[in-house]
Amino acid sequence: MPELPEVETVRRGLAPALEGCRIRLATQRRANLRYPLPDRFAERLTGRLVERLDRRAKYILARLDSGEVLLIHLGMSGRFTIHPPEGGEAAPGQFHHATPESGAGTGKHDHIIFDMEDGTRIVYSDHRRFGFMDLIVEADLDANPHLASLGPEPLGNEFSAFTLSERLRGRRAPIKAALLDQRTVAGLGNIYVCEALFRAGVSPNRSASSVAGPQRSERLARAIREVLNEALAAGGSTLRDYAHTDGELGYFQHSFAVYDREGDACSKPGCGGTVKRIVQSGRSTFYCPRCQK
């Protein structure tokens, strides 16, 4: 499941092909993804200029010259591929196939296609169809149910030890659950929550309120930013490395310190502990019981 760094990497990969570009023709192959697509979806996108591509939490927001915003959520398996026009040069940061495929976008799971004015074809495919798209009037964006209750962006200026502490205070839920709650901080999922708690030396079993003190909240806020920034750097190097991407955006190899490392020796120097897996609210948590307190 893509989390903030993967979604941001997709956004950065799409930006050169979308920002400032006009959609010559939008095509929808189905009436629904996870949810029904809005009325006349393809028609409302066709002819529109994409003024800016933003991200909020795990959503990509394409701001259109019609005053509407295309909201995109990748779900579990949503993927974008960019196919430049035949003979076209890919700009730095833009993806391309070594030999442009004819027939790109005709696969069984290719659901939405954007043919841009410059001949670039952008294909959204999603074999499990947990992703979704919506069109929202820009003025209504903040009130949209998907966006309204989201907490601060962890890499934005509004996020700090203080704002984190305020959102943890008085909550009896385990810190793991509190961080997965998108109202606490936006964009974190299971992987980066495990990694941030490990980095901060905070046990996932501890109550959220017990992390609200100045020292732990400072350590945790810093760890959250660090693990996200390192993952973004890994995503960025994938963006520059065409050979390993096959034109597909956002799914990059990244090594984790605890996630999916049950039984491995703890990587903290001098710890000597072993990574353990427990289940919290139905989801796996990986942590080192020795150095995470």
Q: How far is the CB of 3 from Zn ion (least distance, A)?
A: 23
- The answer to whether residues 14 and 83 touch, using CB atoms and an 8 Å cutoff, is no
Q: How far is the CB of 174 from Zn ion (least distance, A)?
A: 19
Nearer to Zn ion, 175 or 288 (CB): 288
288 counts as binding Zn ion under rule CB under 5 A = yes
3-state DSSP call for residue 270?
coil
Catalytic residue among 19, 283, 289, 290: 283
Take residue 44 and report the two structure tokens written for it.
């409302």
Is 58 part of the annotated catalytic residue set? yes
155 counts as binding Zn ion under rule CB under 5 A = no
Nearer to Zn ion, 132 or 286 (CB): 286
Is 3 part of the annotated catalytic residue set? yes
Catalytic residue among 12, 56, 58, 121: 58
Alpha carbon distance 186, 152 (integer Å): 6
Half-sphere exposure of 147 (CA within 13 A, CB side): 19
3-state DSSP call for residue 46?
coil
Is 290 part of the annotated catalytic residue set? no
Among positions 62, 72, 194, 266, the unique one binding Zn ion when judged by CB under 5 A: 266
206 counts as binding Zn ion under rule CB under 5 A = no
Take residue 31 and report the two structure tokens written for it.
């009436």
- The answer to whether residues 80 and 53 touch, using CB atoms and an 8 Å cutoff, is no
Nearer to Zn ion, 42 or 271 (CB): 271
DSSP H helices, the chain, are 4-18, 41-45, 161-168, 175-180, 190-200, 214-240
Which residues are at the interface with Zn ion (CB under 5 A)? 266, 268, 271, 273, 288, 290-291
Active site residues: 2-3, 58, 283
